[in-house]
Chain A
């Protein structure tokens, strides 16, 4: 008896399920007006447009510069980040400034250390004081140049962030401009000709 009831319920469920399946409206499911499209052609056009935008986005992602990567470049060689972002004039200025400032710092530091070594090895009080005073002046110059060099280096890092952002925003504009200028576009789905 119990077995019979179970079988009856199962048959009833299958019959009701098939009845409800007949209510599925394929037309409604593929309604082109669902997203405001008038017909299938317009829907296809939107689909193509979406694919184009994805392609352009991919192009942008491939060519854009990351802020962290560019910062690392500028941290290693001041101006490198600017060169990558095609800001050549700024890159040359920063690189030149850093070479001059750090070079001068190194030159004066070398002079200071030469006199400082004399001071450390001196055993005569006059020579000791003279060598120390001779070391002090170039050491202060080297510190001043080093400080300026570090400040310029920090400003270079700061400017790299701005330049990278500017480069990325210009890159997107350039991609769109270039895309709009093209009359013939080869896409994965075929060739599009614009008049």
Chain B
């Protein structure tokens, strides 16, 4: 009987020692064939002037070779919750700079943007440093 209890202790330790598996197929730690797109840099931002009837914010960034497309995220605060505003992504072209014009903006608000490259497999790379602009 005591041997059985000892076996139970061993089984308990083996159950408890199980590690949480990195099972996401897009996880580079799980799938070595996936490359993480590089972080986007040199992001600049412009907006419509105070006299303009249609309001917009334009974000521009330097393109990278390893990105298949780019994702644009927006928030109302610097540390706020960034939401993707182009879910399908902006395809990468051969141009050295890429841009996105956000027309869904309102005067009096301040918008923060972050850009990330998306690989061919669908993995989105690290987000760029936030850049913000107010709409007049």
Contact = CB atoms under 8 A, between A and B. Distances in A.
Interface of A: 112, 116, 119-120, 122-126, 128, 132, 135-136, 139, 143-144, 146-147, 150-151, 154, 157-158, 161
Contact of B12 (A120, A128, A150): A150
B1 interface: yes
Given A125-B124, A132-B22, A158 B13 contact: no
Interface stretch (B23-31, B55-63, B100-108): B23-31
Quick one: which of A126, A139, A146 has the most chain B CB within 10 A? Answer: A126
Contact of A146 (B1, B15, B24, B126): B15
A126 B127 contact: yes
B30 to A, nearest CB: 10
Interface string B21-50: 011101110000000100000000000000
Contact of B15 (A126, A139, A150, A157): A150
A78 to B, nearest CB: 13
Find the residue from A122, A125, A151, A161 having the highest chain B CB count within 10 A. Answer: A125
B13 A147 contact: yes
